[in-house]
Structures are given as C-alpha cells and as structure tokens.
Amino acid sequence: MSRRIFVAALIAASLGATAAQATGDPQNGSALFTACMGCHGIDGYRNAYPSFRVPKLGGQKVDYIVAALQAYKAGTRSHATMTAQAASLSDQDMQDIAAFVQSQGEPASGAVASAAGRDKAAVCAACHGEGGISSAPSWPNLAGQHRDYLEHTINQYRSKHRQDPVMQGQVMALTDADVRELAAYYAAQPGLFATHLTN
Ligand code: HEC
Ligand code: HEC
C-alpha cells in the first residue's frame, strides 16, 4: 500500500471510530447492566401500569441512551422505576452502559418495509430516517421498537408528561389514529433489539 493511501485509510478508520464509538468502558457497563436485564434483557417484558412493553435498547444511539438516563436522573423525564434506576448512576456509569449496549451491535438493517403509516411518517423522516434509523447521535432510532411503547411515549409527548421542545412541536397535531399508524409503521421496520449479556 502506498504511504498516501495508508494515511488516508488511517484517517478514515479513526474518523469512523470517533463517530461510532462511545467513550465508556463496555465491561463495566456490562456489570452495571445486570440491574437492567430483568426488564431490558427479556424480549417483550411488560411495564405493569400502564401496560406496554419496555423499550428495546439494543441498536439504540449511544448519545440518546445517555441523554435519557440523565433526564430520568434529573427528573425532567419521569418514570418511577427508571428514576430509581438512574439515580445512583454517575456520568461515567452512563457512558459505560451506553458503550456496553453499543458493543451488542448495530441495529438490524434491511429494506424499509412498506407498512401502513408510511405517508404519515414522511414528516418524521427528516430526523428519524425513512425507515426509523436516525441520522444524528442524539435522535433516537425508532426502527423495530415495540409498537405499544412507541404509542405510549408519543402520547406522553402529546400530554406533555414527557417534555421535549422538538417533539412537542411534532406531535400536537396528531390524532389517536395517526399515533397508532405511526407506531405500527416504525415497529414493522428492521432495527432495534433486546439487550442480552454476552459473557
Ligand atoms: C423494572 C423494569 C426496568 C428496569 C430494571 C430498568 N428499566 Fe429502563 N425502562 C423501563 C421502562 C418501563 C422504560 C420506559 C419508561 C418511560 O416511559 O419513560 C424504560 C426506559 C429506559 C430508557 C429510555 C429508552 C428510550 O427509548 O427512551 C433507557 C435508556 C433505560 N430504560 C435504561 C435502563 C438501564 C441502563 C437500566 C439499568 C441500570 C434500566 N433501564 C433498568 C423499565 C426498566
Ligand atoms: C426535527 C427532528 C425531529 C422530527 C421531525 C421528529 N422527531 Fe421524534 N425525536 C426527535 C428528538 C430530538 C427526540 C428525543 C427527544 C427526547 O429526548 O425526549 C425524538 C424522540 C422521539 C420518540 C421517542 C423515542 C424513544 O425511544 O423514546 C419518538 C417515538 C418519536 N420521536 C417519534 C417521532 C414521530 C412519530 C415523528 C413524526 C410525526 C417525529 N418523531 C419527528 C427529533 C425529531
């Protein structure tokens, strides 16, 4: 390999690494995640009241995972269990957890399924991507997320129980039927998965 190509390859590799890697320690993250497995590691595990399946974290954006944990800890996003879970986590713990989740792999990819709701999802694509794989680290992936969780959390934005200036602006004009269709559309896409301990 010529020196110039070699240097270009090195730069590309290190750019790729900084763009895609969390700064945490996945091994410590794996140890911390044992506290989370009982819910996020079981396919289809349900939250009791209200009833919806707990969100899949595998394949989720690392910056978004950290932001969500910070929001629960700060009380700006409220859910009794998750507030309790996040309360004792330090900033570094959150980075480590995000690195562990990332070590489980990328979201599944495949052709965007032409499911019902595709037309309505067109306005969301600017941030969340056509098939629900978003284009920025702090915008969550929606592809393959549980349908009932998506409905639940969009309705939380609509009722302002979950606050975010960007998302509030997106959901206020939606009807209940729109929410059901959008949730079904993203749930039908290849993408997120339940997290499993690998060692
Ligand atoms: C008893 C079940 C339970 C346990 C244990 C639990 N979670 Fe959760 N988690 C949930 C539920 C339910 C939600 C959705 C809450 C909501 O509506 O905001 C959630 C939401 C999340 C979210 C936000 C996901 C998203 O898409 O916005 C993250 C990140 C998360 N949990 C990480 C963790 C981590 C890390 C741990 C362990 C330290 C943990 N959870 C332990 C049930 C649990
Ligand atoms: C301008 C960019 C933008 C657009 C357009 C947008 N979103 Fe979002 N979305 C975000 C951001 C940023 C967040 C994270 C907000 C937070 O932390 O609560 C988010 C969060 C979400 C979540 C929560 C994911 C989770 O795991 O909890 C859902 C569901 C969602 N958006 C659905 C939609 C739908 C449906 C549309 C179209 C009607 C849409 N969004 C349009 C930026 C956008």
Take residue 107 and report the two structure tokens written for it: 């979201």
pLDDT tens, residue by residue, 9-52: 444 443 443 444 568 999 999 999 999 999 999 988 999 888 99
Number of neighbours of residue 38 by Cβ within 10 angstroms: 10
Q: How far apart are CA 137 and CA 61, in angstroms?
A: 6
pLDDT single digits (tens) 169-188: 999 999 999 999 999 999 99
Q: Is the CB of 142 under 6 A from ligand 2?
A: yes
* pLDDT score for 22: 63
Read off φ and ψ for residue 174, nearest 5 degrees.
-75, 145
pLDDT in tens, 81-118: 999 999 999 999 999 999 999 999 999 988 888 888 89
Query: Is residue 18 exposed (0-12), middle (13-18) or buried (19+ Cβ within 10 Å)?
Result: exposed
Cα 140 to averaged position of ligand 2 atoms, centre (Å) = 7
Q: Closest ligand 1 atom to the C-alpha of 162?
A: 18
CA count, 13 A, side-chain hemisphere, 96: 14
What is the best residue among 37, 39, 192 to mutate for testing ligand 1's pocket, by most ligand atoms within 8 Å of CB? Answer: 39
Tell me the C-alpha distance between 70 and 108, whole Å: 26
